[in-house]
């Protein structure tokens, strides 16, 4: 099972929006609406930000949104804030009880 | 509230074994599966597999068969990851993460395993 493809880095200015992509195949991202996004600050455990493509857990700001088109899922962070600087990982169900992560994207401020 | 508390950092020599624990609280342990995720230094997250906490049946990802074993003690709501014949490349932070069927909704704080002679 190959890792999902994410850009290594993304950047934006405070207050702007940034979108991170996550590309898989029809066997994972394209085949199921089970894409999740996780935020990880340095030295910390990952935190769930989006699940089932576009749902937000309680407590996650609505500045974070998710979508999917074909084999590519996307995470959009609007109104960038200082605390949004972090690594972001996507994951997807890939059938037969298998999960797969993306390689991660480091989000930084310009 | 849901909590997953992992055991502390470990320093092991090559060839040794290590057992990492993940104690769950705040929910019915056998109602959710448990995943294990590896993060090598400076690298991304890698799914190692999961264990069905109801049946005890493990599923291992490619690359994590043979030396890696998932186990449970449901009497104390704890999941375990055991790694045998440790190699330097096993040096990583290992996370447990609760399986909410469609996502990993709660994570442990991580356990650093360092393999060095």
Give the span between the Cα atoms of B104 and B99, in whole angstroms. 5
Among chain A residues, the shortest Cα distance to B5 is held by A45
What's the whole-number mean pLDDT along residues A53-77? 97
| Lookup: tokens for A39 | 């935020």
Judged by CB atoms closer than 8 Å, whether chains meet at B95 and A46 is answered as: yes
Give the span between the Cα atoms of A73 and A102, in whole angstroms. 11
What's the whole-number mean pLDDT along residues B26-31? 97
Nearest to B43 by CA among A94, A38, A93, A102: A102
Q: Which of A45, A60, A68, A89 to probe by mutation at the B interface, max B CB count within 10 Å?
A: A45
Q: What are phi and psi of B76, to 5 degrees?
A: -125, 20
> Is the model's pLDDT at A1 over the cut of 90?
no
Q: What is the DSSP string of B40-79?
A: -TT--EEEEEEE-TTT--EEE-TT-SSSEEEEEEGGGTEE
Each residue's pLDDT tens digit, A17-29 = 999 999 999 999 9
To the nearest whole Å, the CA of B108 is away from the closest chain A CA by: 7
Nearest to B72 by CA among B58, B92, B61: B58
The closest CB to that of A48, out of B59, B104, B108, belongs to: B104
Q: How confident is the model at residue A2 (pLDDT cuts 50, 70, 90)?
A: confident
Dihedral sign of CA atoms B4, B7, B13, B17 in order: negative
Q: How confident is the model at residue B111 (pLDDT cuts 50, 70, 90)?
A: very high
Judged by CB atoms closer than 8 Å, whether chains meet at A51 and B47 is answered as: no
Residues of B near A (Cβ–Cβ under 8 Å) read 35, 37, 44-47, 50, 59, 61-62, 95, 97, 100, 102-110
Nearest to B2 by CA among B21, B34, B29: B29
Each residue's pLDDT tens digit, B43-101 = 999 999 999 999 999 999 999 999 999 999 999 999 999 999 999 999 999 999 999 98
Q: Please give the pLDDT value at position B20.
A: 98
Instruction: Give yes or no for a contact between B3 and B98, defined as CB atoms under 8 angstroms apart.
Output: no
Instruction: Give yes or no for a contact between B26 and B93, defined as CB atoms under 8 angstroms apart.
Output: no
The closest CB to that of A101, out of B46, B102, B106, belongs to: B46
Beta-carbon contacts of B28 under 8 Å, excluding residues fewer than 6 positions away, are none
The closest CB to that of A100, out of B47, B95, B102, belongs to: B47
Beta-carbon contacts of B55 under 8 Å, excluding residues fewer than 6 positions away, are none
């Amino acid at each position: 099972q190959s890792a999902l493809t994410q850009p290594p880095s993304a950047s934006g200015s405070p207050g702007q929006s940034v979108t991170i992509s996550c590309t898989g195949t029809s066997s994972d991202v394209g085949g199921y609406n089970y894409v999740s996004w996780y935020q990880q600050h340095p030295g910390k455990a990952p935190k769930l930000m989006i699940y089932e493509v576009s749902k937000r857990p309680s407590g996650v700001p609505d500045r974070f949104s998710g979508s999917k088109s074909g084999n590519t899922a996307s995470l959009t962070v609007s109104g960038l804030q200082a605390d949004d600087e972090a690594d972001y990982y996507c994951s997807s169900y890939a059938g037969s009880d298998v999960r797969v992560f993306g390689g991660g994207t480091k989000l930084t401020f310009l | 509230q849901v909590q997953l508390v992992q055991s502390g950092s470990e320093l092991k020599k090559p060839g040794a074994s290590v057992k990492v624990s993940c104690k769950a609280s705040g929910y019915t342990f056998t109602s959710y599966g448990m995943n294990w995720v590896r993060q090598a230094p400076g690298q991304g997250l890698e799914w190692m597999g999961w264990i069905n906490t109801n049946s005890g049946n493990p599923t291992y990802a490619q690359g994590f068969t043979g030396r890696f074993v998932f186990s449970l003690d449901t009497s104390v709501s704890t999941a375990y990851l055991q790694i045998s014949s440790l190699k330097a490349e096993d040096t990583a932070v290992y996370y447990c993460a609760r399986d909410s069927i469609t996502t990993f909704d709660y994570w442990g704080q991580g356990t650093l395993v360092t393999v060095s002679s």
